[in-house]
């Protein structure tokens, strides 16, 4: 008996994860039109509710790592159990069974290492599992509804951890940091909407896509130093 959880997202992203995450510690595979996540921690669970609890912590981290590397987050689906007879049992709003083939591990035919664009995802996830601050930042970055408030929280986590200014690390210019913080601050408090309008008339605010890319850059650089 083994446990897996369903993950949802863009097909291209999920296909890339299948190519890169294929170790017993963290494995993504496709069955039919659906994609599933398997990891060693799931098999320590005895009941579906335990897998659900583990998945609710792991999938948001994986979502953040996936967005960091591939630009798109993931969503958590239902919990499934692979029974000893090969059937797949779903635990969620709907329960049913279907035949489930054994999972084959993929690798290079000649034993050589194959590089895929999502290979760093597992590195980010493992870093988050060892460091609470990375886990918090990646979980936030993996939010489906990413916004200015979330981006600023990530910025605060990183800045507090490095105990210096971002531009001094060479992860962004002083001007970019100023533009980000000044644009983000009014968004954090709705009562400051008039302040945002006033600031826009004097300076050029950072666009949200620019802010997202800025945070992505410093997040990746920060994790690499941990």
Which residue intervals of the chain are DSSP H helices? 11-20, 48-70, 120-130, 132-141, 148-162, 174-188, 193-200, 208-225
State residue 115's pLDDT score: 66
Predicted local confidence at residue 95, as pLDDT? 39
Which pLDDT belongs to residue 186?
Answer: 79
What confidence score (pLDDT) does residue 140 get?
A: 97
pTM: 0.80
How far apart (Å, rounded) are the C-alpha atoms in residues 41 and 87?
21
Which pLDDT does position 98 carry in this prediction?
38
Q: Where are the domains positioned within the chain?
A: 2-99, 147-225
What confidence score (pLDDT) does residue 189 get?
61
In this prediction, residue 114 carries a pLDDT of 52
Show Cβ contacts of residue 6 under 8 Å, excluding neighbours closer than 6 positions.
34, 35, 36, 37, 76, 77, 78, 79, 80
Tell which residue, 64, 67, 77, has the closest CA to residue 125.
64
Q: What is the pLDDT of residue 191?
A: 55
Torsion angle defined by CA atoms of residues 209, 215, 221 and 226, in that order, rounded to the nearest 10 degrees: -150
Blockwise average pLDDT, block size 10, the chain, 226 residues: 92 95 92 92 90 93 96 92 84 47 39 69 94 97 94 96 91 92 78 53 78 96 94
Residue 55 in contact with residue 79, Cβ under 8 Å?
yes
Determine whether domain 2-99 maps to CATH 3.30.519. no
């Amino acid at each position: 008996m083994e446990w897996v959880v369903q993950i949802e997202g863009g097909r291209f992203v999920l296909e890339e994860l299948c190519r890169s995450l294929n170790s017993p510690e963290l494995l993504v595979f496709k069955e039919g039109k659906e994609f599933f996540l398997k990891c060693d921690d799931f098999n320590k669970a005895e009941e579906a509710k335990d897998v659900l609890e583990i998945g609710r912590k792991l999938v948001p981290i994986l979502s953040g790592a996936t967005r960091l590397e591939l630009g798109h987050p993931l969503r958590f689906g239902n919990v499934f159990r692979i029974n000893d007879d090969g059937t797949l049992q779903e635990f969620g709003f709907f329960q049913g069974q279907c035949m489930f083939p054994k999972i084959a591990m993929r690798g290079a035919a000649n034993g050589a290492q194959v590089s895929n664009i999502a290979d760093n995802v597992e590195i980010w996830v493992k870093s988050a599992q060892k460091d609470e601050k990375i886990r918090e930042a990646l979980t936030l970055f993996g939010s489906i509804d990413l916004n200015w408030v979330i981006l600023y929280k990530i910025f605060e986590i990183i800045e507090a951890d490095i105990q210096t200014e971002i531009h001094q690390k060479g992860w962004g210019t002083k001007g970019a940091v100023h533009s980000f913080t000044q644009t983000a601050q009014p968004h954090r408090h709705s009562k400051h909407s008039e302040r945002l309008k006033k600031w826009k008339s004097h300076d050029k605010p950072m666009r949200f896509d620019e802010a997202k890319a800025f945070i992505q850059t410093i997040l990746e650089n920060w994790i690499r130093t941990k």
